[in-house]
Structure 1
Amino acid sequence: MWSRREAVATALPLDLWPKVQKAALRSEDVEKYESYELAMRLYFEYQSVKFITERTGIAAASLPRMARKCLEIASDGKIFGFRALVPHVRIEPYRRRAPLGRKFGEQQGGQTGALGMMLDRFPELEEKLTRFIKQDAKYKDVPEFRLRSRDLHKLFIKAIQEYGVSASEWPFTTKHRGIKSIRNFMRDVLDRNFTRSVNIREGTAAKAHLNVGTGHAPFLHFSEPYDVVEIDAYRIDCHSTVTFRTPEGTERDLLLDRLWLIAVVESASAAILSYLVVYRSEVTKEDVIKVVRDAITKRWHPMELTVDGLNYPPDAGLPSGIIDRAYGALWSVTKLDGALAHLAKPVHENLRKGLGFVINWGAVAHFERRDSVERTFGQIANKLFKRLPSTTGSNPHSGRAPNAQEKALKHKIRAAEVAELLDVTIAQHNATPNSGLSSLSPLQYLQYHLEGDIPLCTTRHLPKEMSKNGRTFSTTISVTVRGGRESGRRPYIQLDGARYTNPILAEAGYLVGKRLFIDIDNADDDFRQVRAYLENGADFGYLCVQGKWAHTKHSRRTRKVINSLVYHRTIVVSEFDDPVHIYMAYLGKTNSKTKRGMQPLSAKQVTKATQVSRESGLELVIDAEPKPDEFHTRTTKIVANRSSLLDTPVIGLMKVRNRR
């Protein structure tokens, strides 16, 4: 029973009611709304009904109805308030009361509210249709991923037939049997359950966007430079080539696999602190460690540009090369995605403990957690990669150049030149004014906070001794010293199928059987020497690899790959062979089954060979035949000091002569 006294006593103060912007109303509705609003203000101020009627012209019988509408709860959880007084606005869904008349097949109109009447007639029908739309896991009536409106319509027809609706009733008397009404009903249910409908019906991108724009303040808030950096990898949206030397002495461009770009982006300014182009099919833990090490210990310098007309903009570059206080600066939080490379133990333990930052793990496929680095990748792609003739676009249906691979070969879009363009583009990105930074560039923003007589913020820096010895970025393993007097073998250690020693260890027979701790730099491309420590932690100096592995620079990953190929008898490495040369020859070997018109090496081979070439400095050659004397450069120099009648030292005699 409606009671004005009780309603006035329990209602919110009028100043707290949701209001209406009258400028948004039609001119003919403004005067009507103003009279309604005045009537409700007087009504809840407990003025007499007669006075309200005389003042506003509104009938006395309409006042309680209007007051009840104002106090109804809206979908946003608030009362409707003055919003309920806007002319022609319904606060409840339309329900038809008049019975449906007979309708011919092609007759238009006259069926408004027919579905509502059907749902009122069978209350469980609305619940059943809603359950179908929401794909409720408790019931699983329809196991489809994304139910279509036409499929829901079939379920609706089947359900009402089971309820006994005859062929002479709606919707069987209409041409389309109510499919438009079902489509509108489905849209309304999905809109009312927005979050759930996105989670059960849409893709990963839509689900990721669902987590932003909620109106709630973020739980983690960062406001100063170097509070947080974001690290992520992006597969470059273009094809590129490298140059191989042919057996005839000419040059030939061969296609690479698509490369990866991994970057460290400072969140507050969106400045790129460091980056790395990865010549592999996936980013590894070594790549992550290397790009972090470069961000902290490497001072940026401009590249020597070979592309005609390419220049660095004024005052452009990476922060470590432009801002003195940015060189060696540490951050507090690192945002990483959930990729396996980022979950590796060296990344989590060595870097987190050694550098003192917190790791914020991002959920898989939720790029919105690292919005700065994702947006930066998009800008770099639009400025550079998507403008090249060999671009692959963001996906096969958006921006892909026709015959992109053929154009990469035709125009000789070489990876080395793309690297120069990338360095200039990143330097330009850091020097470009940004409206989000009050028209300051990322570099200017960092300079404003870090430089000056009184810096606005302070940053931690890695101690010089830690940045020089590199132990922060290394993995420590324990090995046993081998050798002994009985066998006559000088003390040595074994690492990944190779012996390591130095003149001190070679004379330290007392260490045989003891343990040494070895620091292996995960980001170093030269695995020919490692640093050793005694059991008590004392520095024992560097140990150098012996034998065939000592000739050519290589990384630990490359050695493991070569050892695996040798173990599976894919390649054969003799005692006198340089394993890296043999591996490069294996990667450069053409396939006899290659079809005419195709490049002689697969893109995977080319990419692996390029990575090894970058490590070792070896030339890229197709069908190279390793020469034995190439693998004994160091031995040849030693022997050349002795008198010999031979122009080239014979391999078989070298061991005999060295026994003296």
Structure 2
Amino acid sequence: MSRKRLLQLFQMHEKYLDLSNWPIVNKLLLNQDDLKLYERRELAVSLYMEQKLTNKEIFEAAGINEKEITRLIKRCLMWDKDTNIIWGFRALIPQKRTTNYQRKAQTSVDLNINTIEDHAKKLPGAFSKLMDDYPAIKEKISKAHLRKIGSGKEPQFVRGKDIHSYFIELCKKEGLGERDYPLNTSDRGKRSLYRYFKTNEFNHFAAAASLYGSEASRNAKKINSNNFEFTTPLLVRPYQRVQFDGHRIDAFFTITYKTPEGDWVTDTIERIWLLVIIDVATRVIIGYHLSFNKEYTQYDVLKCIKNAIVPYSKRVLFIDGLVYHESGGFPSEVIPQAEWALWDELSCDNAKANLSLMVRDRLYHVVDCRINPGPAGVPEFRGIIERFFRTFENRGFHNLISTTGSHPNDPIRKEPERAAKRYEISLEDLEELTDVLISDYNGTPHKGINNFSPLELMKQRIELRNMSPRTLEPFKRKDILFFSLQQKRNIRGNVKNGKRPFIHYEGVDYRSTVLSNSPFLIGIELTLVINTEDLRVIRAFLSDGSEFGYLTASGKWGVSPHSLVERKAINKLRNDGKISFTQYQNPVVVYHEFIKKKSLKSKRYRNRHAEVLRKTKEEERRQLEIQESEHVIERKVRENNQSSTQSSSLKQNEVNLKPLKTFNY
């Protein structure tokens, strides 16, 4: 039989005509007798596949006839399902089994055999034959072992003996009796069933690994269905891919506030979330955000994204002895090309906050990047940021007296809440420590990047290797773009009732002088661009895209800055009857007083109160910056006026003091 005929018979690729593509054998591992037989077979098969000698010459050289050679070549060309390649020269190893044993004889009791023990000796392969003859039993036993729920009401078992009882019931339902296998054996197929469990685990590796805990399940998911490991391509360019994740800090902190009665109280809050964005190529932390919420929200994710893009500025530190390391910092602070830098791909987990419509919209339209959520429940696919969190805790908060440790039984955990209250480890301390720790991390040599510091490596690749990232367009560099939301509302109003035109959004009316004096617009639809961080003012656009102007919240709603989350919380509490306010009361102040009162007994409300205090400080800081900028402008105007007055007076003096010209004739 020709070589091509053999390939056609087994439907093999022509590349297997070349013996260099066949799997080989390590001859040093064979004993002398097996080695001699193997070498004769290898010589005969090689000469036959080359087709340079006749069958008689091959027989004289190797001592194997044509029929045997054809049988050996057929074994070599058989497909090995375990290695996903042909058997090749491996099939020539003496006593090598290339197929599993398949029983052909019957498994019922032979009347000529007197005892069950004698009968059991003559049942090799009986269990495999039973599984092949009754695939329904095989499927149900496999599901029972892997604890999978089928389409019907199938029972779940944990112990092997319970699955064995279920197995016997299935056999009886299929009509098998005492004369049939496995009922005709002493253990009723129990040992064979247990051996099948091992085979079933190998065939369903990921599903079986989940029976042994979450860690084993995650490790098993590192390999996909095609048995190829998920690998990350080598990334060199900064901002090519970044990883985002949240981590609950392993320490307790306190908040100090004044009660409605005027007393100062210091108490612990729920643990804080640290949200981080890290560059994969250089390991640089490009931005972070501390979330005081019980679970971080889409707005926290947007704040972290904003902090990673907007140029960074150092904090003023108040903890004695705490200083920034000179080599540390953030890329947007020390590398000019990294100011307002954007990334190409963001890798994150499948948390709802990460994949919310608002976050995806901002990433698409502002950052212009891809989102790679990755497989669920496998943090190893974001191993870089997971490793950072462990390093961050070991270098930082695990050294605090209020640390919770990495787990409840960690020996470094010693009454963390009590320690936090005793030493008044505040949220301000947390913010300063976090900023310094991350800044110093960026300037510390890293083994994973050849002992460069992350900042050094990014600076080298951007400045020396010309790998500058994309940057945000100037017209997009406003906070409102990160937290903006578009909604459509119809203009309301009624001439009969004398109600001038207005817009209603989230329980509040919005007006402006232009809108109030435009009753002909009643019923017209406006597109509202809403800054979800401050709902006092909303920007409106007509249907053709032209700007209509700014609308202000009516009453006290337009006085205090408040976010969309706070507006919804206030409306919910009011609808539930937990708070009430009149048109003369500021609803934001009423809400803050409610939170302050609840903070005496609830950690969750203390976290909310902490967020309120942080926003208040940020607003005060912003107002100071505005005032300072206004003072600078006023000073420059005065200086310009003074200089212009002085210059004009000097010019006048120059005119007055100008000497008379004399002429000589």
TM-score, length of structure 1 as denominator length: 0.71
Pairing of 1:67-86 with structure 2 (within 5 A): 67-75=73-81, 76-86=83-93
Q: Which amino acid aligns with 1:82?
A: F
Distance across 2 between alignment mates of 1:511 and 1:168: 91
Indicate how the Cα distance of structure 1 residues 507 and 487 shifts in structure 2: closer, same or farther if over 3 A, else same: farther
Distance across 2 between alignment mates of 1:284 and 1:28: 70
CA contact (8 A) 1:132 1:142 kept: no
* Paired position in structure 2 for 1:187: 198
Task: Give 1:575 deviation, angstroms.
Answer: 4.9
* Paired position in structure 1 for 2:654: none
Distance across 2 between alignment mates of 1:306 and 1:34: 81
* Paired position in structure 2 for 1:460: 470
Pairing of 1:471-482 with structure 2 (within 5 A): 471=481, 473-477=483-487
Indicate how the Cα distance of structure 1 residues 6 and 381 shifts in structure 2: closer, same or farther if over 3 A, else same: same
- State which of 431, 453, 458 in structure 2 corresponds to 1:446: 458
CA contact (8 A) 2:462 2:468 kept: yes
Indicate how the Cα distance of structure 1 residues 323 and 150 shifts in structure 2: closer, same or farther if over 3 A, else same: farther
CA contact (8 A) 1:145 1:201 kept: no
Q: Which amino acid aligns with 1:612?
A: V
Indicate how the Cα distance of structure 1 residues 216 and 340 shifts in structure 2: closer, same or farther if over 3 A, else same: closer
Please state if 1:422 is matched with 2:415: no
- State which of 129, 139, 142 in structure 2 corresponds to 1:133: 142
* Paired position in structure 2 for 1:154: 165
Please state if 1:271 is matched with 2:272: no
- SS at 1:163's partner residue? coil
Distance across 2 between alignment mates of 1:565 and 1:38: 88
Distance across 1 between alignment mates of 2:260 and 2:544: 55
Distance across 2 between alignment mates of 1:308 and 1:26: 73
CA contact (8 A) 2:332 2:339 kept: yes
Q: CA RMSD in A?
A: 5.2
CA contact (8 A) 1:146 1:200 kept: no
Distance across 1 between alignment mates of 2:333 and 2:618: 30
Task: Count the aligned residue pairs.
Answer: 596
CA contact (8 A) 1:588 1:601 kept: no
* Paired position in structure 2 for 1:243: 256
Task: Give 1:431 deviation, angstroms.
Answer: 3.5
- SS at 2:517's partner residue? helix
Distance across 1 between alignment mates of 2:449 and 2:244: 21
CA contact (8 A) 1:53 1:59 kept: yes
Gaps of 5+ in 1: 592-599, 620-660
Q: Which amino acid aligns with 2:100?
A: P
Please state if 1:587 is matched with 2:600: no
The C-alpha deviation readout for 1:411-437, integer Å capped at 9, x for no partner, is 654333233332233334433444554
* Paired position in structure 2 for 1:604: 604
Indicate how the Cα distance of structure 1 residues 337 and 513 shifts in structure 2: closer, same or farther if over 3 A, else same: farther
* Paired position in structure 2 for 1:633: none
Distance across 1 between alignment mates of 2:385 and 2:226: 18
Please state if 1:557 is matched with 2:565: yes
CA contact (8 A) 1:554 1:616 kept: no
Task: Give 1:133 deviation, angstroms.
Answer: 0.7
**Identical columns (%):** 29
Task: Give 1:560 deviation, angstroms.
Answer: 3.1
CA contact (8 A) 1:350 1:472 kept: yes
CA contact (8 A) 2:27 2:35 kept: no
Distance across 1 between alignment mates of 2:276 and 2:413: 26
CA contact (8 A) 2:502 2:515 kept: no
Task: Give 1:541 deviation, angstroms.
Answer: 6.7
- SS at 1:340's partner residue? coil
Distance across 1 between alignment mates of 2:326 and 2:30: 55
Indicate how the Cα distance of structure 1 residues 43 and 483 shifts in structure 2: closer, same or farther if over 3 A, else same: closer
Gaps of 5+ in 2: 10-15, 620-665
- SS at 1:262's partner residue? strand
* Paired position in structure 1 for 2:622: none
Please state if 1:305 is matched with 2:317: yes
* Paired position in structure 2 for 1:13: 18
Task: Give 1:97 deviation, angstroms.
Answer: 11
* Paired position in structure 1 for 2:655: none
Distance across 2 between alignment mates of 1:9 and 1:532: 73
| Structure of greater relative contact order (alpha carbons < 8 Å, 6+ residues apart) | 1
CA contact (8 A) 1:254 1:601 kept: no
Q: Which amino acid aligns with 1:184?
A: R
TM-score, length of structure 2 as denominator length: 0.71
Q: Please identify, of 208-217 and 236-245, the stretch whose mean Cα deviation from structure 2 is larger.
A: 208-217
* Paired position in structure 2 for 1:570: 578
CA contact (8 A) 1:318 1:427 kept: yes
CA contact (8 A) 2:249 2:272 kept: yes
Distance across 1 between alignment mates of 2:493 and 2:269: 45
Distance across 2 between alignment mates of 1:8 and 1:577: 89
Distance across 1 between alignment mates of 2:246 and 2:489: 34
Task: Give 1:18 deviation, angstroms.
Answer: 0.9
Task: Give 1:278 deviation, angstroms.
Answer: 1.3
Indicate how the Cα distance of structure 1 residues 53 and 166 shifts in structure 2: closer, same or farther if over 3 A, else same: same
CA contact (8 A) 1:329 1:459 kept: yes
Indicate how the Cα distance of structure 1 residues 465 and 86 shifts in structure 2: closer, same or farther if over 3 A, else same: same
Distance across 1 between alignment mates of 2:352 and 2:2: 66
